[in-house]
Amino acid sequence: MAKNGGGAIVNLVSIVSWVAVPSGGTYSASKAAAWALTNWLRIALREQGTQVVGVHAGPVDTDMASELTLPKVKPVDVVRQVLSAIETGRDEVLADDMTRQVKVGLSDREGIYLNFNPERRRARREVRNSSK
């Protein structure tokens, strides 16, 4: 890429790069490492003109997530957001509402990563919304 004046690297690092789930400890750990690598690559390759985009997404509507009951983002929507990020020079894509909420939760007084349970959070949100 350096010989060609740069380019773009896109790394799908997932929402579980920030939070662990009971059934996916090693998966979460590997995605956290991938997120750290993505951040380092962004810094290391910037001078050569290479953009590094980290893509965070909750469940994507693919075979891998077919048994999950959580809301899923469509792959085509993720691709559109990634292409937009490349075109506008953004370094990060937060592909769905769950991911955006988790990122905000990282700075909560009690970080969301300490006890992440998307089903419980969704139920709490539904109760709050129904009482309004």
pLDDT in tens, 104-122: 888 766 655 555 566 666 6
**pLDDT tens by residue, 56-87:** 998 888 888 888 788 888 999 999 999 999 99
The residues, any chain, with a CB within 8 Å of residue 113's CB and separated by 6 or more, are 18, 19, 20, 105, 106
Domain CATH code at residue 39: 3.40.50.720
Give the domain range for residue 6: 2-130
Tokens linked to 54: 């980290």
Per-residue pLDDT tens over the stretch 5-57: 889 999 999 999 998 888 888 999 999 999 999 999 999 999 999 999 999 99
How close are the terminal C-alpha atoms of the chain, in Å?
53
Q: Which residues of 20-42 are buried (b: 16+ CB within 10 A; e: fewer)?
A: beeeeeeebeebbebbeebbeeb
- Tell me how many domains the chain contains: 1
User: What pTM, to 2 d.p., does this model score?
Assistant: 0.77
